[in-house]
Amino acid sequence: ADIAMYRAKRGRLGHAFYHQGEEEAVARRLTLEEALRRAFAADELELHYQPRVEMPAGRIRSLEALVRWRHPERGLVPPGEFITAAEEGGLIGELDRWVREAACRQLARWQGEGIAVPVAVNVSAVELRNEGLAESIGEALRRHGVAGRLLEVEITESAAMEDPERSVTVLGAIKAEGVAVSIDDFGTGYSSLSYLKRLPADHLKIDRSFVAGLGGGGADEDIVRAIIAVAGSLGLEVIAEGVETEAQERFLLEAGCRLAQGYRYGRPVPAAEMARLLRAARGAGGEG
């Protein structure tokens, strides 16, 4: 009888705790959504830029724009802490539009200074279902007087494969604006090679989780070689994400991958700092 009562009690308590926890999670998310809405109004979002470079010298080929939230109390909040809330709260369209807008405004300035290189912006899976995406991208480019070749979009492999037929159409429309497409976090989704073949993409980014395992002789090395081979046969240029060490760089170069993004070459930095790097690269004759 004692055991039965204990079980009943624990069950009830467990139930109560579960609900309490759930309510707290919902409340936290609501607060985050509200705070994010206010962040737009208060202009608290900013873009940081990370170089994509040619190995081994590190010449900057293009940049990835990564959103951050300059929170008045919490400081610089990384996107991992608010992108999901933005997606669930229906704010991601607005957020990604803000990012495109900010990237185009920045590109227009860098174009004027003669230091512009292509900038890639991330597009959420939710935005990939937006009918007007390509049109919205083209409109932003024209309004800012930015050449299409200076903007790129990154879409994750898993997002692209959610509705592959649709992705073929949407990415095709984006490419028609002169904008290059990268398949992001490649290797973590479930690609159908027949759809991958049809996707109008330009670059394939090897997910950081595989790059982390390079140089030690493990299975990640075979996976990365296989990804590079697939990309090669599909005519896609490979970019390795998250390159941090010389051993990783050496492996990638030997495997035939020349482009990389990672802390080894530069962390994401604010626009002003990136502008200094671009000017220095130009001054050194690094950029054409």
Member of 2, 41, 72, 80 binding ligand C2E (CB under 6 A): 80
202, 268, 276, 240: which is closest to 55 by C-alpha? 240
- 80 interface partner picked from Mg ion, ligand C2E, none, CB below 5 to 8 A per type: ligand C2E
Closest residue to Mg ion, based on beta-carbon distance: 154
Task: Give the binding range for ligand C2E (CB under 6 A) out of 34-42, 217-225, 255-263, 269-277.
Answer: 255-263
Member of 106, 124, 167, 182 binding ligand C2E (CB under 6 A): 124
Cβ at position 11, least distance to Mg ion in Å: 41
Task: Give the binding range for ligand C2E (CB under 6 A) out of 19-27, 105-113, 171-179, 241-249.
Answer: 241-249
| Cβ nearer to ligand C2E, comparing 50 with 173 | 50
| Cβ nearer to Mg ion, comparing 213 with 286 | 213
CB 107 within 8 A of CB 117: no
Task: Check binding of 78 to ligand C2E (CB under 6 A).
Answer: yes
Cβ at position 31, least distance to ligand C2E in Å: 21
Member of 51, 89, 148, 242 binding ligand C2E (CB under 6 A): 242
Q: Give the span between the Cα atoms of 141 and 234, in whole angstroms.
A: 28
| Cβ nearer to Mg ion, comparing 36 with 155 | 155
Task: Check binding of 79 to ligand C2E (CB under 6 A).
Answer: yes
- 79 interface partner picked from ligand C2E, Mg ion, none, CB below 5 to 8 A per type: ligand C2E
Amino acid code (one letter) for 252: L
Task: Check binding of 220 to ligand C2E (CB under 6 A).
Answer: no
Cβ at position 7, least distance to Mg ion in Å: 44
Member of 32, 55, 60, 67 binding ligand C2E (CB under 6 A): 67
Q: Which residues contact 1 (CB under 8 A, 6 or more apart)?
A: none
| Cβ nearer to ligand C2E, comparing 198 with 208 | 208
| C-alpha 94: how far from chain center | 16
Residues that bind Mg ion (CB under 5 A): 122, 154, 184-185, 241
Residues making contact with ligand C2E (CB under 6 A) = 50, 66-67, 78-80, 83, 96, 99, 121-122, 124, 154, 184-185, 208, 241-244, 261-263, 268
